[in-house]
Structures are given as C-alpha cells and as structure tokens.
Amino acid sequence: MKKTIALLLALVLTVGLFAACGKAPAEDKATKTDAAPAGTGLQIAIPNDTTNEARALILLENLGIIKLKEGAGVTATILDIEENPFNVDFKEVEAAQLPGVLQDVDYAVINSNFAIDAGLVPADDALSLEGAYSAYGNIVAVKEGNEDTAKTKALVAALESQKVADFINEKYSGSVISVVENPGDGFAADVDYDALAGETISVGASPTPHAEILAVAKEILAEKNITLNVVEFTDYVQPNNAVESGEIDANYFQHNPYLVDFNANNGTHINAVSYIHVEPLGIYGGKQTSLDPVTAK
C-alpha cells in the first residue's frame, strides 16, 4: 500500500513539474505540432482605400495569386476573396505608406506615384505591372460648375499638349504613361488669353509625378502671362477638400473611380475634366525577390 501511495505521489509531482516549467505532456505537444501555425502564409501589403484596394486585388487575381468572387470588380475587398491557394495574409496600409512597409512584408502593391517618390523605378523594380487601364487614368478635377471656365480650359489645354506628353514619355520611361490621344500645342482656341493675362491658376497635386508634370504646363501658361501655382499635398483627402472649398481652382492627383467614391462618401461636388496619364499599379518584392513563391503551387 505504501509503495502504491508513493508511486501516485511521484506521478502527481511529475505532472506538477511539467506545468511549472510551461511544458506539456508528450501527447499534447504532438497535437500542437501537427496543427498549422497561424500567420505562416506570405504577407502582401495593399492600399486600404476602397478603389485602390480593389485595383490591387484585381492585379493579384490576374497574376493567379487569388481568385475573387464573381462580380466583385472595382469594388472588391479582401472579403471578396474566394480562393487563396498561397495562404496570403493581407496587410491593409494607407497608400502613401506602402513603400515604407515594403521591407517588412513579402510583397507590396504600390501606386506608381508613391513608388517613384520612394526612389523605385516601376518599369524596372516592379515584379509585375498592371496594364494601362483607362478607368484609372489620372484626372484634372474641378468643382461642379467650373468645368467650362477660361482657367479650367487653359489648364487642360496645357496639360493635353504634345510638350507634356513628350515629357511624360521621356521622364518616366513607361512607369507613367500619357493617355492624351491627340496632344495639341498647349493652347485652347476658345480661350481669351489676353483676358487671362496676369491671372493665377492654383492646382493641388501630389509631388510625384503630378507636380513635375504641372511644371511643364506652368512653362506653357507663362507664355501667355498666366501664373500656375502648384500646391503640393501628400495625402488623398485634402486636395479634394481644397477644391470643394474654393481654396484652389483644380487638382491633379487621382483617378476617377477614387473621385466618384470620394464624392459619394463626403458629399462633395467635384468633376473630372480631362484624363492625362496612367500610373500602372505594381507589385514589388520586399522579403521576396521574385514571384516564384506565389506561382509555383
């Protein structure tokens, strides 16, 4: 009897020792090892705004990395992912911050303007670029009612010029693509430039490439003694608010799907008046140097 009690006490002490040391009995350890650990999939950072998130997911679907639900289209979110064969974890990040998190994730899907601003060359550094989808052409936008003013027409004519188209093609080598079909000489036939002489046109823009492109338009307008004042913004909200309030005459930084969504969500009344260029969205390698890990399954 004493031996039996001694054995039971020893067993209790042994189990207690395992618990005190944070160790599990062998059968529990085996169960945990067999289960797939959470978060072991590849991590891809994508823009967190509605339209660019959908655009990024469409790019990933075209690459065969995911499959979206039928009909998800330009409003797709990560909730619309139907198949995820590579066990991708998605990190939703404000678009301008994506280059900054690239080193911490396997891949990031980045807008070309933010990639260029971070020192990346989309045509060279992106592992894959989307096609030049016309829906995502970057636009000149003005407040409703100002679509046909002399200032708007003069600004649009300058941006739709051959001089600007040539600058885009030479400067960005395919990382930014002009979508103006019939570039002109930079001047609108129905604008009284003498009446505009001495006036200032203020335009909100992101630094790259929009402000750089506007610098060329500024040279054209200066020929008619019109000053182009470029106000740089580093986010996607304030340029539209500034147009709505009348603080600036126009802006040039966004594509139309984003503007439509912005108007719907914020009660603003801003309209596109011209499509100037496309910035192909690209997927860039962070911890990964190729797309092999998401194409070899």
- The per-residue pLDDT for 297 is 59
Name the residue type at position 223. Answer: E
- The per-residue pLDDT for 32 is 28
Residues in the chain: 297
- The per-residue pLDDT for 271 is 98
Q: Are 81 and 66 in contact (CB under 8 A)?
A: yes
What does each C-alpha distance from 231 to 38, 242, 252 come to in angstroms? 46, 10, 10
What is the chain's pLDDT, residue by residue, as a tens digit (297 residues)? 444 444 433 433 343 433 333 333 333 323 322 333 344 589 999 999 988 999 999 999 999 999 999 999 888 999 999 999 999 999 999 999 999 999 999 999 999 889 998 999 998 999 999 875 557 899 999 999 999 999 999 999 999 999 999 999 999 988 899 999 999 999 999 999 999 999 999 999 999 999 999 999 999 999 999 999 999 998 889 999 999 999 999 999 999 999 999 999 999 999 999 999 998 899 999 999 999 999 865
pTM, full prediction: 0.75
Q: Are 112 and 128 in contact (CB under 8 A)?
A: no
User: What is the rounded CA–CA span in Å between residue 195 and residue 273?
Assistant: 22
Comparing CA positions, the residue from 127, 131, 108 lying closest to residue 118 is 108
Domains of the chain: 43-131+282-294 (3.40.190.10), 134-278 (3.40.190.10)
Q: What stretches of the chain show up as alpha helix (H) in DSSP?
A: 2-20, 26-34, 50-62, 98-101, 112-117, 122-125, 150-159, 162-172, 193-196, 212-222, 238-245, 256-266
Comparing CA positions, the residue from 55, 191, 233, 35 lying closest to residue 134 is 55
- The per-residue pLDDT for 2 is 41
Residues forming beta bridges with residue 177, ordered by sequence position: 278
Is the bond preceding residue 85 a cis peptide, omega within 30 degrees? no
pLDDT tens per residue across span 113-125: 899 989 999 989 9
User: What is the rounded CA–CA span in Å between residue 84 and residue 76?
Assistant: 15
Q: What stretches of 36-179 show up as alpha helix (H) in DSSP?
A: 50-62, 98-101, 112-117, 122-125, 150-159, 162-172
User: What is the rounded CA–CA span in Å between residue 107 and residue 127?
Assistant: 9
What does each C-alpha distance from 59 to 68, 86, 105, 108, 282 come to in angstroms? 11, 15, 18, 12, 8
Place of tokens 């509605």: 50
What does each C-alpha distance from 13 to 6, 9, 93, 292 come to in angstroms? 11, 6, 51, 52
Provide the token pair at 285: 């390698």
pLDDT tens per residue across span 213-244: 999 999 999 999 999 999 999 888 999 999 99
Q: Are 289 and 107 in contact (CB under 8 A)?
A: no
CA quadruple 165, 170, 172, 176: dihedral sign: positive
Strand pairing category for 200-205 and 250-255: parallel
- The per-residue pLDDT for 64 is 95
- Render 153-183 in DSSP notation, one character per residue: HHHHHHHTBHHHHHHHHHHHTTSSEE--SS-
